Structure 1
Amino acid sequence: MHPRTVSEIIAAKFTDCVRRAVSCQLSAIEVIAAAEELTRCNESALARELYKLWIAHNPADPLLHAINFNYGVLLNESGQLADAQAAFTTAIEARPDFLSPYINLGTLLERAGNLDEAVKCWLEVVNRLPTVTADALKHKTVALKQMGRVLEANGRPDQAEAMFQACLDLNPNQRDVLQHWIAVRQTQCKWPVLAPWGSISSSMVMQALSPLSAAILIDDPVLQLANAWHYYRQDIASSLAQTTAGGWPTSGARGSRRLRIGYVSSDLREHAIGFLTAELFELHDRTNVEVLAYYCGPRTEDELQQRIRRAVDHWIDISDLTDQQAASRIVEDGIDILVDVNGYTKDARLKLFSLRPAPIIVNWLGFPGSMATPHHNYIIADQTIIPPDAERFYSEKIMRLPCYQPNDR
């Protein structure tokens, strides 16, 4: 008798679990364990199917809310967003004081553009805090952070500030939240912007300052460079498990094919960057250059984005990809020059660039300051953006144009 393959063992276990689930002989703890094992074996589809069958045949189980939540997480990961939303809603209906699905449901509502409903969902977490436990406080912190972020993005900085401050009152050791708090105070012209309060010291505020906020507050180029370097070290480099995606061809391996230029941006839409660059993509010399756009911004079908999509050779939406997945895609595409159009601005994919998915990485347009990273090789500028006597304050090699900013005619 030949030993069974891994696939056969998994199939046998799945069949047994299904048999027990439909006859109400598989406990909630057992179905969670089985689904987790299937997921670890790259059989998420079977895990989803098992959860679905168990839910259908065990409607009175006291842990039904937890199973629906886990089912929703798997549906969300597979891109089945409407079904995931339904699963999270069912989990909430089954047990309204179970906080986890409120967080996930709010995120799905935000992605669908239902921002007010998303905020209401997270507000439920804040208002329903049942007891002061570590888990409950964690959920409240996440909900306040999410609400602040959405309110900030939708032009309600005063409300966003209140959410961020409440979030920091619960846990002051959140650099990202403190950065957003500084940004919304700048938006409101609240002086002094970097005001300490409670357990937030002046030192914590200064160390949390992002390069974009620093560019507004500080006019000393040495301090701006130091700030960018500190930000990169603390927020980007420290969280990287590896430093390179690797695998790109050497410069001599390109042969006679066209030069492949990739643009990574969250702003190729009705945004200042989109309005400036639309014609640039149309004017690239297609006999020598192949243009790929890697979009990482909000979903939109506006007219300007449609125009840019028509102008490039390839449009790749990387919004739902992890940094590693996006970097691997860029490597597979054989990009020769990768242009970071965001820099240190909203929705930037900074960790993606730290994986070095292309042999040459260029900082251009979105953030005219230095990135202060080891992987941004060049910055495109002009005499106004970077005067000759300011070159020493940039980690990148400076490539000058008569005017670094394109303008759509």
Structure 2
Amino acid sequence: MNDSAIALYRRAMSLAQAGRLAEALAELDRALALQPDFADGQRNRADLLLSLKREAEAYAAYETYLRLRPADAQGWSNRGIAATELRLPEEAVICFDKALALDPRDADAWNNRANALFELKRFADAARDYEKALKLAPDLPYADGFLLQSRLRCCDWGTVTPHRKRIAGGVSRDAPVIDPFGNLAVSDSPSAQLQCARIWIADGHQAASPLWRDERYGHERIRIAYVSGDFRPHPVAFLIAGVFEHHDRARFETIGVSLGAAGESEL
């Protein structure tokens, strides 16, 4: 091993522990320029890229790392997470397949593969994976809710009533058992739906700092922004299209902010 590469690697890890991730990544890049086959360095570089939300680079970095250490189940699992964030569910399933072949006791890998299968609308396969994940980790956040949603999409009605009661009980205990949208199929209680949404927000969706700083604007037309993940062939888009079309363009300027994937649809 190159002594300078080791020193740079240790400095990078210290920076990472201090939360200075971008600086840590820069030091790792310097270390790996000296020692490209340093497996630990490549793994931590990929992990840092994933933590920095640079998923495309992380996905490629895990490929580099796994050439050096192909039997690392967690490496395959993390690459699957990067693929999921990139909306590549087929590739994610392949990665989780390899992770689970190496470590079949990893509840998170079962759950993550189930999520990718759910995205691919392979609901029966997703349900089986959620069941396996929950056997290994009964309190795995949101897995039980997605298991119920998978079964509903398979028209598997046999356990729906007790399953709904279990989910409703979890929400009443402030447990992260189901996402708010999925909960609409479980409960028609406004208070339960509100509670579920509060659990979801508190679990990892903290409020961002406001961009508006009390500035005053003098636009000629009132600006209205529509924010949606459904600017695509979707019932919501079809229903609201007439609203967009009938705005008084002389008085209003409309802006669409899409939260979904880019598509070719006119919507």
User: Is the TM value for this pair above 0.5?
Assistant: yes
Name the structure where helix makes up a greater proportion of residues.
2
Give RMSD over aligned pairs.
3.5
Are 1:290 and 2:238 counterparts? Answer: no
> 2:264 — aligned with what?
302
Aligned counterpart for 2:83 among listed residues 98, 105, 109:
109
Judged with a 3 Å threshold, the aligned counterparts in structure 2 of structure 1 residues 269 and 102 are, in CA distance, closer, same or farther, namely: same
Please show how residues 166-185 of structure 1 align to structure 2 within 5 Å: 166-185=132-151
SS of corresponding position for 1:286:
coil
* Cα distance in structure 2, aligned partners of 1:161 and 1:247: 44
Please state whether the residue corresponding to 2:231 is helix, strand or coil.
coil
**1:143 is matched with which residue: 109, 133, 146?**
109
Name the residue aligned to 2:197: 232
Alignment-derived partner of residue 193 in structure 1? 160
Distance 1:203 1:149, change over 3 A: same
Once the two structures are TM-superposed, the CA of residue 225 in structure 1 deviates from its matched residue by 0.9
Match of 2:226 among 251, 263, 274: 263
Taking structure 1 as reference, are residues 50 and 205 closer, same or farther at Cα in structure 2, changes over 3 Å only?
closer
Q: 1:24 matched to which residue of 2?
A: 2
Q: Matched residues in 1 for 2:100 and 2:73: separation?
A: 9
Name the CA shift for 1:211/1:239 in 2 (closer, same or farther; >3 Å).
Answer: closer
Quick one: structure 1 residues 209 and 43, their matched pair in 2 at CA, closer, same or farther if it must change by over 3 Å? closer
Give the superposition deviation at 1:157: 0.8
In structure 1, runs of 5+ residues without a counterpart are 1-22, 131-136, 306-409
Report deviation, 1:48: 3.8
Distance apart, 1:99 and its partner CA: 2.7
**1:186 Cα deviation from its structure 2 partner:** 1.4
Where structure 2 has 5 or more consecutive residues not aligned to the other structure, the ranges are: none
Question: Normalising by structure 2, what TM-score?
Answer: 0.78
Code of the aligned partner of 2:115 = R
Residue type of the partner of 2:150? V
Query: 1:194 touches 1:205 (CA, 8 Å); kept in 2?
Result: no
Structure 1 equivalent of residue 123 of structure 2: 157
Deviation at 1:202, TM superposition (A): 8.2
Q: CA deviation at 1:235?
A: 2.1
> For structure 1, which segment, 160-169 or 209-218, has the greater mean C-alpha deviation from structure 2 after superposition?
209-218
**Which residue is 2:29 aligned to?**
52
Cα distance, 1:188–1:205 mapped onto 2, change above 3 Å? farther
The 1:57–1:194 alpha-carbon spacing in structure 2 relative to 1, beyond 3 Å, is: farther
Quote the Cα distance in structure 1 between the aligned partners of 2:180 and 2:161. Answer: 14
Task: Determine helix, strand or coil for the equivalent of 1:304.
Answer: coil
